[in-house]
Amino acid sequence: MKKRSIALILCLCFMFCAAAPVMADGGVAEGEARAVIGADLTDEQTAQVYDMFGVERGSVRELTVTNAEEREYLDGLVDSSIIGTNSISCIYVEILPEGEGLQIQTQNLTWCTQEMFINALVTAGIDNAKIIVAAPFEVSGTAALTGIYKAYEDISGQELDEIAKLVSTQELVITGELADEIGSYDAVTIVNEIKLILDETREMSDEEIKSEIEVIATQYGITLKDSQLDQLVTLCRALEKMNSDELREKVEYVQNTIKRLAEAQEKVSGIAETVKSIVNSIGDFIDKIISFFKGS
């Protein structure tokens, strides 16, 4: 009887551990992955997205995200026409070892960049993950955060802080609108600089915050419009609801990650230009040979 009781306890312990992939230290289990598919995709489009993920359908747990779920976080932040009525964006999330940081890949996104996602996700409390955001055709990508939240929460078995999710969505949208004017890197940098002074802004009026943001922007050679300053003040007030010490700690990591991304993009761009130059040179050489023989 005693042996049977011990066996039953061990069995229950095993079932409990298997049910939630959360490690003993409270972290998320390394290697766990989820795919989140937009509810309005066809089977053919879903297969196309899995090709972009580089995984076989059925090899990871699949979740679905609806347009109604996406609107929970986006309504009031972006124009309804941008959100649309269909859920198209798809997500693949895989948990990486501690210290690996965020690895973001995007495909067919016209608005949201890797830098913007990294900044917003760190605000939401997500780290050490490989994340692919993809769609079968071009979309803005604004709704993708909802799918990422859903995947991460399903893996961890724990809900992310609701305020953090709302603020990070607001951050993504405002940074994106700012990036349209000054570029993604500068937009993210200014937002991060604001995160460093939240202890001070809590004691400031909106006008004082605007002046402070103008000083920050000037340091980067950027002139902001009144409407952009208003948006950044709104974001600043939202960020003030969060733990300023934690946000400050994350800024350096985010800036270093974004800097590496920018350097990698410049390198790829440089290689592309070199290849283009070589191809053009070869083309000119061939044209000269053809002209020579035609002339003879």
Are 31 and 157 members of one domain?
A: yes
- Rounded to whole angstroms, the Cα distance separating 246 from 251 reads 9
User: How close are the terminal C-alpha atoms of the chain, in Å?
Assistant: 103
Q: What pLDDT score was predicted for residue 262?
A: 60
Q: Classify residue 87: in a domain, yes or no.
A: yes
My answer on whether 181 and 239 are in the same domain is yes
C-alpha pair distances (Å), 259 with each of 108, 185, 266:
23, 8, 11
User: What residues contact residue 170 under an 8 Å CB cut-off, 6+ apart?
Assistant: 77, 234, 235, 238
178 and 133 part of one domain: no
- Rounded average pLDDT over 59-74: 93
Residues belonging to the chain: 296
Same domain for 33 and 148, yes or no, is yes
In the listed set 127, 146, 161, which residue is the last one of a domain according to the structure? 161
The packing angle between helices 162-182 and 67-74, to 10°, is: 80
d(CA 146, CA 19): 23
- Is the pLDDT assigned to residue 8 strictly greater than 50? no
Longest dimension (CA), the chain: 103
Average pLDDT over residues 165-173: 94
Which residue segment(s) compose the domain that 94 sits in? 25-161
Give pLDDT tens digits for 226-239: 999 999 999 999 99
34 and 98 fall within a common domain: yes
CA 107, chain centre distance (Å): 12
pLDDT value of residue 83: 73
pLDDT digits (tens, 9 = 90+) for 73-130: 888 887 776 677 899 999 999 999 998 999 999 999 998 999 999 999 999 999 999 9
The yes-or-no verdict on residue 296 having pLDDT over 60 is no
- In a shared domain, residues 221 and 107: no
What would the DSSP string read from start to end of the chain?
-HHHHHHHHHHHHHHHHHHS-B-TTS-BPTT-EEEEEETT--HHHHHHHHHHHTS-TTSSEEEEE-HHHHHHHHBTTB-HHHH-SS---EEEEEEPPTT--EEEEEEEESS--HHHHHHHHHHHT--SEEEEEEEEEEE--TTHHHHHHHHHHHHHSSPPPHHHHHHHHHHHHHHHHHHHHH-HHHHHHHHHHHHTTHHHHTTS-HHHHHHHHHHHHHHTT----HHHHHHHHHHHHHHTTS-HHHHHHHHHHHHHHHHHHHHHHHHHHHHHHHHHHHHHHHHHHHHHHHHHHHH-
Distance CA 232, CA 189 (A): 12
- pLDDT over threshold 70, residue 173: yes
Last residue of a domain, one of 109, 138, 161: 161
User: Do both 127 and 198 map to the same domain?
Assistant: no
Residue 275 lies in a domain: no
- Residues 64 and 92 occupy one common structural domain: yes
Instruction: Tell me whether residue 290 is in a domain.
Output: no
State whether 249 and 179 are in the same domain. yes
In a domain, 92, yes or no: yes
Number of folded domains that form the chain = 2
Q: Establish if 66 belongs to a structural domain.
A: yes
pLDDT in tens, 128-164: 999 999 999 999 888 899 999 999 999 999 999 999 9
Same domain for 194 and 233 = yes
Whether residue 237 lies inside any domain: the answer is yes
| Whether pTM exceeds 0.75 | yes
**178 and 259 fall within a common domain:** yes
Q: What is the mean pLDDT of residues 235-250?
A: 93
- The verdict on residue 83 lying in a domain is yes
Averaged pLDDT for residues 246-251: 90
pLDDT at 70 over 60: yes
pLDDT computed for residue 160 by the predictor: 95
Query: What pLDDT does 252 receive?
Result: 82
85 domain-assigned: yes
Cβ atoms of residues 145 and 124 within 8 Å: yes
Q: What is the pLDDT of residues 32-57, one digit of tens each?
A: 999 999 999 999 999 999 999 999 99
- Rg over alpha carbons for the chain, rounded to the nearest Å, is 24
Q: Are residues 70 and 155 in the same domain?
A: yes
